Structure 1
Amino acid sequence: MSGKELVQNLLDFIDASPSPWHVVKTIEAQLATQTPPWQRLDETAKWTLQPGGRYYVVRDDSSIVLFVQGQKPLAETGFKIIGAHTDSPGLRIKPNAASGADGLVRLGVEVYGGPILATFTDRDLSLAGRIAYKNDQDQIASMPVKFDQPLLRLPNLAIHMNRAVNEEGLKLQKQTELPLILATSTEEQLPPAYFSALLQQQSGIAAERILSWDLAVYDTQKGAFWGAESEFYADSQLDNLASCHAALQALLNADGMDATRVCALFDHEEIGSQSNKGADGSFLPDVLGRIALATATDGEDYARALAKSFMISADMAHAYQPNFPNAYDPGHKVIVNKGPVIKVNANHNYSSESVSAAMFVDWCEQAGVPYQTYSHRCDLPCGSTIGPITSAKLGIRSIDVGNPMWAMHSLRESAGVLDHDYMIRVMKRFFAA
């Protein structure tokens, strides 16, 4: 595929995946079209693996680890791992969400991670996530749900009532000013019952059987190309579904079969990764350990395999925005459409160090891909990634990289068309090395 075709494929991937639970379903749907087939492994069952076999494991519906079993023993090759995350910052619906007053039904929300809240105003919003319910066998089950139509809105306050907004910025009180307008209420209509009826209508599950939910607010506007030459693209959740998509494309299309290649895509990165399915949990160590057990790799050889392993932690990077020059280190301006970014932080908020950076540079040069290096301003707090967490947990060498993007954590983010192709190419080179 050309660079623009790859980005259109990415936009379709994002638009089909408005929540972490949908990300995993979208990936599973793509795997189902592949030849040879991919096999889903159950964590409660014994695993039998074959050299060259293609497998994946899902934990709690929103984290997934995919791997292609190498032809050579693990102790000889180690694991080649790319890690990314399936979640994005935003708003999540509260358990007792629906309330009615002043002739309107509103849904209460809680802030998830660190979104730019002002970007949620005056947008065509809707809901996506999963519900948990009792099935016909009286067992607890779950299923994804998605409302395609614009369902919700957060109308801005008119400038006549907020005269300083252009000088001071839009500030939203999280408890009282974020509830989303859903419907006009009537005296006969109780808001909780109305919301339950909506869930029933969308899922096909009787309202009394729906016990709980995880529902994210998303923007219904589709992704799009922009710029004089359509050299940029915009969508929600580029951080970090663009990295998930790049990793998946590299895994599906990489050459070389000697080493075991792994893509680990985690939920909960935006809130610290501390969960059973986050990067700070046991999911990836469990999967790698079970690969070793299923291939009769003893404890010492497994330790040898980890010592030979490498992980690329892929998460988007801050592109230079010339309207705000004081937000950047003058010596580390990374530019959209100029290649993947190596992210460096002396306090190890990123896992990159000189050797792993040199290795990544070498893979870029082999792939014919330009690269850049980013360091945050010293007087601004620096974000972090799954890289240091996973590298420390497994004891493996790692690097943090990402494609440059604008407006990270906005509901509408932007990036460069060329960079997505560049990232896939260097990831493929890494898997084949």
Structure 2
Amino acid sequence: MSSTRARFDRGHTDDLLTFLAASPSPYHAVANVAERLEKAGFRQVSETDAWTTEPGADASATSGGRYVLRGGAIIAWYVPQGAEPHTPYRIVGAHTDSPNLRVKPLPDSGAHGWRQVAVELYGGPLLNSWLDRDLGLAGRLSLRDGSTRLVNIDRPLLRVPQLAIHLDRSVSSEGLKLDKQRHLQPVWGLGDDVRDGDLISFLEEETGLGSGEVTGWDLMTHSVEPPAYLGRDRELVAGPRMDNLLSVHAGTAALAALATSEAGGNVELPYIPVLAAFDHEENGSQSDTGADGPLLGSVLERSVFARGGSYEDRARSFAGTVCLSSDTGHAVHPNYAERHDPTHHPRANGGPILKVNVNNRYATDGSGRAIFAAACERAGVPFQSFVSNNSMPCGTTIGPITAARHGIKTVDIGVAILSMHSARELCGADDPFLLANAVEAFLEGR
């Protein structure tokens, strides 16, 4: 029996709910990942330091867990005992961002006795899901002294009020039509005097900062309703940001468990396991912390060179590397089954999905399928196949980007959910731990 079999169970899903609630922004998500990895013995390393050896708590250390934290992205890796400069990587890739409403540079607005916050749409949110929902505010504050501070107002603070049906009878016959600029600005108070700096002054007071200390911000709304089990037998989970913190959480748990097992002498790792959690997937990944940026390649190359490797070692390492791009996919919707491929109907609690698109919207090919199938077999985990209906456009992930940018074999997988890009999404309660078991078996590589 593989060492990965049945390591994660329903307790993993319980922990996922805690992780989702504590991660209302990408910055909170990576901070929580870092905290969990620290408990497993990982240590943060700085990109501005010289990596003359594999950096760690002990400057002479050649093995152990490290991570690089940049903005809303984190790259973590564990170098096992005896790793060579050309040792390949096994990577689980995911993203930390989710569609939402984000605060504009001049946030204070309002009209007709209502105070409002000016927001911009991030990614492709399911707009109606943000209406009449109690919203908090979270993100990162940049301070005058050059430091940053996380902020999370996790209580009902804002609300986007929907127009009453009495004032728009066409909703019943023509459906809801929202203007992205005019209809999605939340209210957060009363008053005719809209004061510049009001929101930021409020946040300074809430976080114990002095007036004028905040000079920049990256702020976003989130639903304050906590994640929860749902259904007659609690066989479902409803919650925010499953796309794609569900995969970030699974990758973190798998990496931490493997590092602990290897350090304790319970497993030998033929590959270097890596977690790559990027920001900005929902708007194209083109940033310094996105999958289309240089962050992953830079960290992996520097790790090779720090172990005494050459460019040839780097090429050998990358040639043997495989990445699992783990992101949520679509479960068959009982009310819209015709929108799905008629022969591919992923179901909740059916195990992770293998995502295929011959036009390379997903990076999976036949050999990648075999790698994932072997990992699932070792873990004792069932898996399902997903392909889009030919008449429907297919989404994409960081998978093809990772494959093309780094020349790394990549396989697209995930968990099947409903209500993707809603303020609250829905999945099977078993699927998070089934994914984590499959990911750990993949990273272990045996």
TM over 0.5: yes
List per-residue Cα deviations over 1:164-212 (Å, max 9, x = no partner): 324433221111111110111154xx43232132111122222312111
Q: Alpha carbons of 1:299 and 1:2: their partners in 2 closer, same or farther (altered >3 Å)?
A: closer
Residues 140-219 of structure 1: pairs in structure 2 closer than 5 A? 140-187=146-193, 190-219=194-223
Residues 147-296 of structure 1: pairs in structure 2 closer than 5 A? 147-187=153-193, 190-254=194-258, 255-296=267-308
Q: Alpha carbons of 1:291 and 1:76: their partners in 2 closer, same or farther (altered >3 Å)?
A: closer
Instruction: Tell me by how many angstroms 1:5 deviates.
Output: 1.6
The one-letter code matched in structure 2 to 1:65 is I
User: Is 1:32–2:32 an aligned residue pair?
Assistant: no
- Residue from 387, 397, 405 that aligns with 1:385: 397
User: Is 1:55–2:70 an aligned residue pair?
Assistant: no
1:344·1:373 contact (CA, 8 Å) conserved in 2?
A: yes
Instruction: Tell me by how many angstroms 1:76 deviates.
Output: 5.4
**Which residue of 2 is the match for residue 86 of structure 1?**
96
TM-score (norm 1): 0.95
**Which residue of 2 is the match for residue 46 of structure 1?**
50
List per-residue Cα deviations over 1:188-245 (Å, max 9, x = no partner): xx43232132111122222312111100110001000011110100100000000000
2:45·2:67 contact (CA, 8 Å) conserved in 1?
A: yes
Cα distance in 2 between the residues matched to 1:384 and 1:418? 25
The one-letter code matched in structure 2 to 1:115 is P
2:348·2:431 contact (CA, 8 Å) conserved in 1?
A: yes
2:326·2:413 contact (CA, 8 Å) conserved in 1?
A: yes
Cα distance in 2 between the residues matched to 1:311 and 1:2? 21
1:72·1:258 contact (CA, 8 Å) conserved in 2?
A: no
Cα distance in 2 between the residues matched to 1:170 and 1:4? 38
Cα distance in 1 between the residues matched to 2:407 and 2:308? 21
List per-residue Cα deviations over 1:68-89 (Å, max 9, x = no partner): 0133444653111110000001
User: Is 1:305–2:311 an aligned residue pair?
Assistant: no
Percent identity for Structure 1 against Structure 2: 39
Cα distance in 2 between the residues matched to 1:418 and 1:149? 29
The one-letter code matched in structure 2 to 1:317 is G
Instruction: Tell me by how many angstroms 1:286 deviates.
Output: 0.4
1:74·1:302 contact (CA, 8 Å) conserved in 2?
A: no
**Which residue of 1 is the match for residue 105 of structure 2?**
95
For structure 2, which runs of at least 5 residues remain unmatched after alignment? 1-6, 55-60, 259-266
List per-residue Cα deviations over 1:45-96 (Å, max 9, x = no partner): 012323431100011x210000001334446531111100000011101010
For structure 1, which runs of at least 5 residues remain unmatched after alignment? none
List per-residue Cα deviations over 1:236-268 (Å, max 9, x = no partner): 000000000001111011243332111000000
The one-letter code matched in structure 1 to 2:14 is Q
**Which residue of 2 is the match for residue 376 of structure 1?**
388
> How many residues are paired up?
424
Cα distance in 2 between the residues matched to 1:305 and 1:195? 49
**Which residue of 1 is the match for residue 414 of structure 2?**
402
Residues 348-387 of structure 1: pairs in structure 2 closer than 5 A? 348-387=360-399
Cα distance in 1 between the residues matched to 2:84 and 2:284? 30
Cα distance in 1 between the residues matched to 2:10 and 2:311? 46
1:74·1:259 contact (CA, 8 Å) conserved in 2?
A: no
2:85·2:305 contact (CA, 8 Å) conserved in 1?
A: no
Which piece of structure 1 moves more, 399-408 or 207-216? Answer: 207-216
User: Is 1:422–2:428 an aligned residue pair?
Assistant: no
What's the C-alpha RMSD, in Å, of the aligned pairs? 1.4
- Residue from 104, 115, 121 that aligns with 1:111: 121
**Which residue of 2 is the match for residue 315 of structure 1?**
327
User: Is 1:123–2:133 an aligned residue pair?
Assistant: yes
